[in-house]
Amino acid sequence: MSIVVLGVGNVLEEDDGIGIYACAYLNANYTFSPEIQIINGGVEGINLLNLFLENDRIVILDTINLDDDAGSIYNIPSYELSGYGLNSGGAHEVGVMQCLDMIELMGHPLPESNVIGIIPKSITFHMGLSETLHDHFNAYINTVINYLKTINISSKQNEFQKSLYDIIEEFKYPSR
């Protein structure tokens, strides 16, 4: 079974980048068994269609716009999000959900997919995370790790750990 953890979002829009930061953090700090793909989907949206066609299970990491406190974390099967829309309606959210609709229209089997979403505090032009999402980041990562355990993916922390601060700085200054 091919499993992908897919981070979507825009690191230029503060909390919207948490899915991208989470994927980078997981890649830097954990080893998974059996092996899984961890992919930065950025704002690719509908361009990720082949990813959905070629894999059995997709775990989408992103912000989600529900009426709850910032930092609240949800694990929702993708089919339940129809009509809610992820985040603030940016291109990547619409495209990711449309990928599933297109697969169904093409008559292909849908991959198992769910969104591990977190309620954002601030979506604005700024790199990094709001203090609220920064404070909830470890809980978000633990939610992903615990979900992977439920589908028989074990994780092991790497000996050398990279901090969230370092991850964000690498996105700010990629040539370092």
pLDDT by 10-residue block (mean), the chain, 176 residues: 93 95 98 96 86 93 93 90 47 66 83 93 94 98 98 96 96 82
Check: CB of residue 63 under 8 Å from CB of residue 123: yes
Can you give the residue range of the structural domain that contains 145? 3-172
Residues with Cβ within 8 Å of 164's Cβ and at least 6 positions away in sequence, in order, are 21, 25, 129, 134, 137
Determine the pLDDT at residue 127.
94
Determine the pLDDT at residue 97.
76
What is the domain-level CATH number for residue 7?
Answer: 3.40.50.1450
Determine the pLDDT at residue 126.
92
End-to-end CA distance of the chain: 36
Determine the pLDDT at residue 2.
93
Determine the pLDDT at residue 86.
42
Predicted TM-score of the model (pTM): 0.89
Check: CB of residue 65 under 8 Å from CB of residue 115: no
The domain total for the chain is 1
Residues with Cβ within 8 Å of 75's Cβ and at least 6 positions away in sequence, in order, are 114, 115, 116, 117, 143, 147
